[in-house]
């Protein structure tokens, strides 16, 4: 007999109630364990970050989220074959006892660490769906346990920084919307909010910069070879903004930053840029003038976060950081009088200046024209007496000025680290220059104090004002170029204030799923700047570039899922932005090659730490390459462009560690990239090789360039680079890639199926006897026994 409708209703209600009770019974212990550590009203930022990230992973339909769910839900199983490679990593079941969680909850650290590990596995797979064979939990190898500890230590540091910065809050809701609005709308000019020096143009750049630069900036025809008269329409200003503009013009006239002229050659508008302190910076829009100028030189020895990786710090040693910052630097750099007419602002009328409080006598003092030609109705142009921020040449002039100050202080130019120049042989004193910022790293306190005294004196003699509030003198930590550098431990990490803002904005973006291309580009720029500390992160980005190029740039739209995947993976791996500065080189050289005729080859040669360090210093230097000492049977060398460096090793000094036949046909560039990946996987198999620099020799310049930059637009290379990125991030490796010509590459033979074996001396005595076949040893023993009995 069928059930009545009332009974059916009761059964449905009871079933729903039963499921709800079971679900609550499952979740209640987790809630209680969390509340026992942190009361709900005082959850730290780390707990709120865990909750927000877990919510995003559970609710989104992105590949990174699906990968995490399948990977974390897989049952315990042992691999079906021997697991030699580092990746994929198994799930972390228990917290490593070697890693101290400090004040952060161990449960939260474990959950975020597993999310980060799943992100590494997802990156290793090329952001694809997980392979069922790699899902599950198994006993990690020694190398995988080392990677687990590395990830856990970085997660603890990351969460601890969030707690120290945000306390018991994490203001991520509407964070992206607010930052997007600030990016899209320019600030209204406020005269009193603009920072100005007491006296502008105090540094005569023509007398400070080197002679080559001095000759160029003193010749108008070399900067503006075509020459032109101003023909741009005057920028329009609202009545309120025009009043603020006139008041600011008067302030700039009084400090000497501006002069007045009735005829000019170049014209640009002005706009305000906000500072973190709430103050403003006035920027001159010199885009039209810059288009008519000659191409400026690249700023010499300009530092960025990637420059910090060139530091050589011994593990456990102490270093001292110092910093000097120029105050309103561009306002102090005096421009030649011949160029000032090209740096004009929107014109004003003399009667407007008089109405705003300036006297006629002051107007005539600030005017370069004859006094009799200036009346109350005269239209007059304010022109810059300094190199304005917004002109294409200003950055190069400012960089050269700061470098000149360093030279006056006795800092050798080779010690100013740059990716475009050779590294010094000694790192007792290292310097980084980024326009108005000068960062010094010393191993001896007395030497650092002496250099700083001379540098401060050079600032004063050259008329460059210092921002003394930002001075750092021989401290164990410093904030520079958007990064925090510390001595114990010797690491460089993103500045927590900037990183925290990026984390909150990314969480909000992932929750809403909509953004304007301009706002998305602004957030992506922050993550890319941090990626200079860890270039493997660049391999993540591909679809994001297509979205930021969309038009119109300020119209909100749904962000494509593949772009959201890439930004989510960046957030998941954010704890790994922190990079060690005390990694020493591995004491061997690794060469890799690929040949379409056979497959892949990897060869290794032992060397001293000094030799490995010298080879690592050649990495990413423009035009440098290495050659081996030629042997009798080596092919003849072909002339190459660039600076060669001869190594003492021969090809026979290298031993083959890999000689694999290719399983598929592919482009030679893709094969070379896979050979590079194989060399990294071989290095990462051994836990003792982790946390080191690795000298890698490759003979494909395409792969050398792509791997050094961390990215490639080619899909075949991008997939391999993502796997290489996951390997280096998990093992904390810093690949130092150097080009070696094909005829000198010891891995060329193994890539064609010809293995290289080092000559080994025969062992003597008992060791040699034990190394023989066991059957031969037993037969020999029986023969000896028979001879003894017979005797």
| 506 domain-assigned | yes
Residues 282 and 203 placed together within one structural domain of the fold: yes
The pLDDT score that the predictor gives to residue 4 is 74
Give domain status of residue 308, yes or no: no
Verify that 573 and 626 share a domain, yes or no.
Answer: no
DSSP for residue 507: H
Q: What is the secondary structure of 396-431 as a DSSP string?
A: HHHHHHHHHHHHHTT--GGGB--TTSPPPS--SEEE
Tell me what pLDDT residue 400 has. Answer: 98
Please give the helix or strand (H or E) that residue 581 lies within, else none. Answer: none
379-388 average pLDDT score: 96
Q: Which secondary structure element, helix H or strand E, spans residue 442, and what is its range?
A: strand 437-442
DSSP string, 676-700: HHHHHHHHHTSGGGSSSEEEEEES-
CA distances in angstroms from 34 to 58, 204, 518, 572, listed in the order given: 19, 63, 39, 22
Rounded-to-10 torsion of CA 78, 84, 89, 92: 60
204 and 336, same domain (yes or no): yes
Q: What is the CATH number of the domain that holds 402?
A: 3.30.70.270
Please provide the average confidence, as pLDDT, over all residues in the chain: 90
The model's confidence at residue 237, banded by pLDDT at 50, 70 and 90, is confident
Token pair belonging to 685: 């198999």
Which position has the higher pLDDT, 782 or 708?
A: 708
For residue 499, the model assigns a pLDDT of 98
Paired residues of 486 in beta bridges: 477, 491
What is the structure's pLDDT at 779?
A: 57
Q: What is the mean pLDDT of residues 504-530?
A: 97
* pLDDT attached to residue 162: 98
SS3 717: helix
Residue 90 corresponds to which tokens in the numbers above? 């198994």
pLDDT of residue 717: 95
Mean pLDDT of all residues in 419-424: 91
* Lowest-confidence segment of 70-79, 549-558, 585-594 by average pLDDT: 70-79
Distances (CA, A) of 753 to 99, 271, 603, 749, 773: 44, 65, 12, 6, 28
Number of other CB atoms surrounding residue 347 within 10 Å: 17
Work out the average pLDDT over 221-231: 79
Q: Per the domain annotation, does 477 fall within a domain?
A: yes
Burial classification of residue 528, based on how many CB atoms lie within 10 Å of its CB (0-12 exposed, 13-18 middle, 19 or more buried) = middle
Total domain count, the chain:
7
- Decide which of 519, 548, 578 is a domain's last residue: 578
- Check whether residue 522 and residue 593 sit in a common domain: no
Asked whether residue 310 is domain-assigned, the answer is: no
Q: How far apart are CA 138 and CA 213, in angstroms?
A: 63
pLDDT at 33: 44
> Domain of 594: which CATH number?
3.30.420.10
pLDDT band at 7 (very low <50, low <70, confident <90, very high): confident
pLDDT at position 23, please?
Answer: 62
Query: Residue 167 is inside which H or E element, if any?
Result: none
- Both tokens assigned to 213: 């630069």
620 pLDDT band, cuts 50/70/90, is confident
Place of tokens 């059930």: 3
Output the domain CATH number for residue 223.
3.10.10.10
Beta bridge partners of 430: 441
- Per the domain annotation, does 484 fall within a domain? yes
Concatenating the DSSP letter of every residue in 95-107 gives --TTS--TTS-HH
- Find the domain containing 468 and state its range: 320-327+395-493
User: In terms of domains, do 569 and 420 share one?
Assistant: no
Residue 170 covered by a domain? no
DSSP class of residue 303?
-
Please tell me what DSSP assigns to residue 628: P
| 678-690 CB burial, b ≥16 within 10 A, e <16 | bbbbbbbbebebb
Give the residue-averaged pLDDT of 279-302.
Answer: 93
Q: Which two tokens stand for residue 121?
A: 């596995």
Percent of the chain scoring above 70 in pLDDT: 89
Strand partners, 281: 273
Among 493, 509, 526, the domain-final residue is: 493
Closest by Cα among 534, 490, 491, 559 to 710: 534
Residues 689-704: tens digit of each pLDDT: 999 999 999 999 999 9
Provide the b/e sequence for 147-172 (b: ≥16 CB within 10 Å).
Answer: bbbbbbbbbbbbbbbbbeebeeebeb
Per-residue confidence band for 11, with pLDDT thresholds at 50, 70 and 90: confident
Looking up tokens 């060869």 gives 603
Window from 226-240, 462-476, 736-750 with minimum mean pLDDT: 226-240
pLDDT at residue 75 in the model: 78
Q: What is the pLDDT of residue 439?
A: 98
Sign of CA dihedral 441, 447, 449, 453: negative
Contacts of residue 258, Cβ cutoff 8 Å, sequence gap at least 6: 249, 252, 345, 366, 382, 383, 384, 385
d(CA 646, CA 80): 46
Q: Does residue 235 or residue 552 have the better pLDDT? A: 552
Look at residue 178 and tell me if it is in a domain: no
Indicate whether 748 and 767 sit together in one domain.
no
Handedness of CA 39, 41, 43, 47 (dihedral sign): positive
Residues 692, 661, single domain; the answer is yes
- By the 10 Å C-beta count (0-12 exposed, 13-18 middle, 19+ buried), 201 is classed as buried
Which tokens belong to 279? 């103050």
State the Rg of the chain over Cα.
32
Q: Tell me, what's the pLDDT at 370?
A: 93
Dist. CA 166–CA 46, nearest whole Å: 9
pLDDT bin (cut points 50, 70, 90) of residue 762 is very low
Q: What is the spatial distance between Cα 689 and Cα 697, in angstroms, rounded to a whole number? A: 17
Are 219 and 235 within one domain? yes
Chain-centroid distance of CA 672 in Å reads 25
In terms of pTM, does the model score above 0.75?
Answer: yes
Buried b / exposed e over 112-145, threshold 16 CB at 10 Å, is bbbbbbbbbbbbbbebeebeeebbbbeebbebbb
Whether the per-residue pLDDT at 424 is higher than 90: the answer is yes
Which pLDDT belongs to residue 32? 41
Q: Are residues 256 and 350 in the same domain?
A: yes
pLDDT above 60 (res 273):
yes
Domain boundary among 493, 508, 543: 493
Assign 115 a pLDDT band (cuts: 50, 70, 90). Answer: very high
pLDDT in tens, 710-728: 999 999 899 999 999 999 9
**Same-domain check for residues 471 and 502:** no
Give the Cα separation of 729 and 578 in Å (integer). Answer: 10
Distance between CA atoms of residues 294 and 228, nearest Å: 13
Residues 12, 30, single domain; the answer is yes
Instruction: Classify the C-alpha dihedral 176-181-187-188 as positive or negative.
Output: negative
Quick one: 470 exposed, middle or buried, by C-beta within 10 A (0-12, 13-18, 19+)? middle
**Quick one: which H or E segment has residue 128?**
none
Tell whether the model's pLDDT for residue 205 goes beyond 60. yes
When pLDDT is averaged across residues 335-339 and rounded to a whole number, the result is: 95
Helix-, strand-, coil-residue percentages of the chain, each rounded to 5: 45, 15, 35
- The SS3 assignment for 274 reads strand
DSSP class of residue 617? T
Strand partners, 239: none
Q: Is residue 553 part of a domain?
A: yes
Range 282-304 average pLDDT: 94
Name the strand (E) or helix (H) holding 89: none
d(CA 246, CA 189): 11
Quote the pLDDT of residue 29.
47
- Does residue 763 surpass a pLDDT of 80? no
Tokens 């060690």 identify what position? 580
Residues 447, 519, single domain; the answer is no
Q: Determine the pLDDT at residue 132.
A: 72
The answer to whether the CB of 442 falls within 8 A of the CB of 319 is: yes
């Amino acid at each position: 007999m069928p059930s009545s409708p009332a009974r059916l209703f009761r059964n449905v209600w009871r079933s729903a109630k039963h499921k709800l009770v079971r679900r609550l019974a499952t979740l209640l212990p987790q809630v209680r364990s969390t509340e026992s550590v942190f009361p709900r009203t005082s959850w730290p930022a780390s707990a709120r970050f865990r909750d927000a990230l877990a919510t995003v992973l559970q609710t989104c339909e992105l590949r990174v989220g699906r990968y995490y769910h399948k990977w974390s839900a897989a049952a315990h199983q042992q691999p079906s074959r021997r697991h030699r490679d580092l990746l994929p990593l198994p799930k972390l079941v228990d917290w490593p006892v070697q890693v101290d969680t400090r004040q952060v909850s161990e449960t939260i650290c474990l959950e975020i660490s597993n999310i980060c590990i799943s992100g590494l596995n997802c990156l290793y797979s090329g952001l694809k769906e997980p392979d069922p064979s790699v899902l599950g939990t198994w006993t990690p190898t020694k190398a995988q346990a080392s990677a687990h500890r590395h990830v856990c230590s970085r997660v603890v540091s990351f969460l601890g920084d969030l707690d120290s910065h945000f306390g018991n809050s994490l203001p991520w809701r509407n964070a992206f919307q607010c930052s997007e609005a600030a990016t899209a709308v320019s600030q209204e000019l406020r005269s009193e909010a603009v920072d100005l020096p007491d006296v502008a143009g105090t540094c005569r750049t023509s007398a400070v910069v080197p002679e080559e630069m001095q000759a160029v900036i003193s010749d108008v025809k070399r900067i503006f070879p075509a020459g032109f008269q101003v023909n741009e329409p005057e920028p329009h200003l609202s009545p309120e903004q025009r009043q603020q503009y006139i008041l600011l013009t008067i302030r700039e006239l009084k400090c000497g930053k501006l002069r007045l002229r009735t005829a000019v050659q170049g014209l640009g508008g002005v706009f305000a840029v906000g500072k973190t302190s709430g103050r403003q910076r006035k920027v001159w829009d010199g885009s039209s003038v810059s288009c008519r100028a000659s191409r400026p030189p690249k700023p010499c020895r300009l530092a960025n976060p990637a420059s910090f990786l060139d530091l050589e710090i011994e593990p456990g040693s102490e270093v001292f950081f110092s910093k000097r910052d120029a105050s309103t630097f561009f306002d102090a750099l005096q421009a030649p009088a011949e160029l000032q007419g090209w740096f004009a602002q929107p014109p004003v009328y003399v009667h407007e200046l008089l109405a705003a409080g300036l006297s006629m006598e002051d107007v005539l003092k600030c005017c370069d024209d004859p006094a009799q030609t200036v009346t109350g109705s005269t239209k007059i142009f304010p022109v810059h007496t300094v190199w304005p921020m917004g002109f294409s040449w200003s950055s190069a002039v400012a960089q050269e000025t700061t470098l000149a100050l360093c030279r006056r202080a006795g800092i050798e130019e080779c010690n100013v680290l740059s990716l475009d120049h050779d590294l010094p042989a000694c790192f007792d004193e290292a310097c980084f220059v980024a326009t108005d910022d000068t960062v010094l790293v010393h191993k001896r306190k007395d030497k650092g104090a002496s250099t700083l005294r001379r540098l401060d004196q050079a600032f004063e003699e050259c008329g460059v004002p210092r921002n003394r509030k930002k001075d750092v003198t021989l401290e164990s930590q410093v904030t520079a170029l958007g990064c925090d550098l510390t001595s114990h431990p010797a690491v460089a990490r993103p500045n927590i204030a900037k990183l925290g803002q990026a984390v909150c904005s990314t969480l909000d973006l992932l929750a809403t799923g909509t953004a304007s291309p301009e706002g998305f580009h602004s957030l992506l720029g922050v993550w890319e700047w941090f990626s200079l500390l860890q270039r493997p992160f660049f391999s993540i980005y591909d679809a994001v570039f297509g979205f930021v190029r969309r038009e119109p740039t300020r119209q909100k739209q749904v962000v494509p899922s593949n772009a959201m995947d890439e930004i989510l993976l960046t957030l998941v791996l954010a704890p790994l932005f922190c990079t060690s500065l005390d990694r020493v080189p591995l004491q061997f050289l690794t060469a890799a090659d690929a040949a379409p005729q056979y497959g892949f080859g990897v060869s290794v040669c032992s060397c001293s730490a000094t030799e490995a360090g010298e080879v690592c210093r050649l990495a990413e230097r423009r035009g440098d390459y290495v050659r081996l000492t030629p042997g009798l049977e080596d092919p003849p060398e072909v002339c190459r462009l660039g600076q060669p460096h001869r190594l003492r090793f021969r090809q026979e000094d290298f031993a083959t560690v890999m000689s694999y036949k290719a399983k598929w046909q592919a482009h030679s560039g893709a094969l070379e990239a896979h050979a590079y990946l194989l060399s990294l996987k071989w290095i990462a198999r051994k836990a003792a090789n982790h946390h080191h620099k690795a000298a890698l020799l490759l003979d494909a310049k395409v792969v050398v360039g792509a791997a050094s930059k961390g990215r490639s637009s080619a899909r075949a290379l991008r997939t391999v680079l993502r796997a290489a990125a996951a390997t280096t991030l998990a093992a904390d490796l810093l690949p130092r890639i150097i080009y070696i010509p094909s005829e000198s590459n010891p891995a060329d033979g193994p890539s064609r199926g010809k293995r290289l074996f080092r000559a080994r001396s025969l062992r003597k005595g008992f060791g040699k006897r034990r190394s023989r076949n066991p059957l031969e040893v037993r037969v020999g023993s029986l023969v000896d026994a028979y001879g003894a009995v017979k005797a």
